Amino acid sequence: MSVYLDHAATTPVRPESLNAYLEAQSHFGNPSSVHAQGRQTREILEQAREVLAEAVGCHRSEVIFTSGGTESDNQLIKGLYWSRQDRPRKYILSALTEHHALLDPIHWLEKHEGAQPVWLTVDKTGQPDFAQFQQLIEELGDEIALVSLMWVNNETGALIDLQKFSALAGQRNIPVHSDAVATFGHLPFKFSETGLTAMSISGHKLGAPIGIGASIIARSAKPVSLIHGGGQERGLRSGTMNYPLAMAFAQAASAAVSDQVEREHRLGAMRDRLERELLKTIPAVSKTISGPRIEHTASFLFPGAQSDSLLFLLDQKGLCVSAGSACQAGVLGASHVLLAMGYSEAEASSVLRISLGHSTTEADVDTFLGVIEEVYSTALRAGLNR
């Protein structure tokens, strides 16, 4: 039986989420239809929106269902940028430590729409340079289309003081987006108190089935739609909505938010024990960040070993871990996040991410600790033979 320590990639479906999906799926109808069965499924969809809004801390009309975090990032980056072109505003402030679901839309806008990204420097604690941000806000001001910064980094777990950035941008009425996929359900917050214009969240990261997410968009924001058709979801995401997945997401989110403080405290204690014993057993190993971070994620450098060798050897022993994001179509190379933080190519190619979740046990941690020294020794030998 395998030991799963890759919850930042996806986490097992919560029973309450699966039950909600099956119950909703037993009702048949198009939520846009006016007949009784359509109205019934529309009611399920709107109930899901209400439950998710409560979990997020926003108004129900600010919840726009999508297929997941990648779609939401694309919708919000492109949509907010386009909505700001009533006058020339070409600058997008962000950081190269962001997820590719955000970096790639920015690069697309740069290539096809004349956008000009300005990348904030990120230090080895995972923190964007706030002094640089202040200077850019002052110098570029009304020419900035938007700001986008992830709250918690999906690879390192680095946690930034996002509200400091959103507050400053807000003084100049600059919209701020955040990829909160790694944040929601792990860190208590209310969207209405963040100062954000919009954020992206995903269901399968907190116990819903894969294929559902949401864009949380302040009512004052009017992003341009990527998908045109029937005008569903405030006209921002046309198409027949998958109401069973929406309800499954809502119930998973409600459950994750309700137990997040206790759960993250428990996972943080396990993570700290794993780190403490790993660094004692293998002194050459080091943590990638030492600053503020989320409780359930740990990221390590294994000098002299390749990430792919470590993953393969751990997989052979029944342990599921990762080197970073699982959203790069199975392509493994040097971590772009660590490179952006100033690590060398060799260091960024020797990283291992351990991420814990609601189903993780102390026995899972013990299993990892019981094999990692042998795995590292084998990976070192493999590296010498390359």
| 228 and 283 both lie in a single domain | no
| 232 and 325 both lie in a single domain | no
| 115 and 167 both lie in a single domain | yes
pLDDT greater than 50 at residue 348 = yes
Task: Tell me what pLDDT residue 331 has.
Answer: 59
pTM of the model: 0.94
Task: Tell me what pLDDT residue 119 has.
Answer: 99
| 221 and 292 both lie in a single domain | no
229, 255, 281: which is the final residue of a domain? 255
Task: Tell me what pLDDT residue 333 has.
Answer: 80
Q: What would the mean pLDDT of 255-280 be, rounded to a whole number? A: 96
| 266 and 249 both lie in a single domain | no
How many separate helices (H) and strands (E) can be counted in the chain?
A: 12, 12
In tens, the pLDDT along 282-313 reads 999 999 998 899 999 999 999 999 999 999 99
| 309 and 325 both lie in a single domain | yes
DSSP letter for each residue of 82-145: HHTTTS---EEEEETTS-HHHHHHHHHHHHHH--EEEEEPB-TTS-B-HHHHHHHHHHHGGGEE
Tokens for 85, please give them.
């072109």
| 349 and 220 both lie in a single domain | no
N residues, the chain: 386
Q: What would the mean pLDDT of 82-97 be, rounded to a whole number? A: 95
Please count the structural domains in the chain: 2
In 295-367, the DSSP E strands lie at 297-301, 319-320, 351-355
**Residues belonging to the active site:** 327
Task: Tell me what pLDDT residue 386 has.
Answer: 54
pLDDT greater than 90 at residue 235 = no
| 223 and 289 both lie in a single domain | no
DSSP letter for each residue of 215-247: EEE-TT--PPPSB-SS-TTTTTB-S---HHHHH
255, 275, 310: which is the final residue of a domain? 255
In tens, the pLDDT along 323-334 reads 866 555 455 689
Task: Tell me what pLDDT residue 33 has.
Answer: 86
| 186 and 41 both lie in a single domain | yes
CATH of the domain at 153: 3.40.640.10
Which structural domain, as residue segments, surrounds residue 49? 15-255
| 239 and 112 both lie in a single domain | yes
pLDDT greater than 70 at residue 384 = no
| Residue located via tokens 């801390």 | 57
In tens, the pLDDT along 268-281 reads 999 999 999 999 99
| 235 and 310 both lie in a single domain | no
Q: How far apart are CA 318 and CA 196, in angstroms?
A: 41
Q: Which alpha helices (DSSP H) does 148-242 contain, by range?
A: 162-170
Those residues with Cβ within 8 angstroms of residue 85's Cβ, 6 or more apart along the chain or in another chain: 145
201, 221, 255: which is the final residue of a domain? 255
In tens, the pLDDT along 16-53 reads 999 999 999 999 998 988 998 889 999 999 999 999 99
Give the C-alpha distances (Å, rounded to integers) separating 191 from 60, 183, 336: 12, 12, 29
CATH of the domain at 349: 3.90.1150.10
- Residue closest to 73 by CA, chosen among 298, 327, 324: 327
Task: Tell me what pLDDT residue 293 has.
Answer: 95
| 154 and 58 both lie in a single domain | yes
Q: What would the mean pLDDT of 221-229 be, rounded to a whole number? A: 94
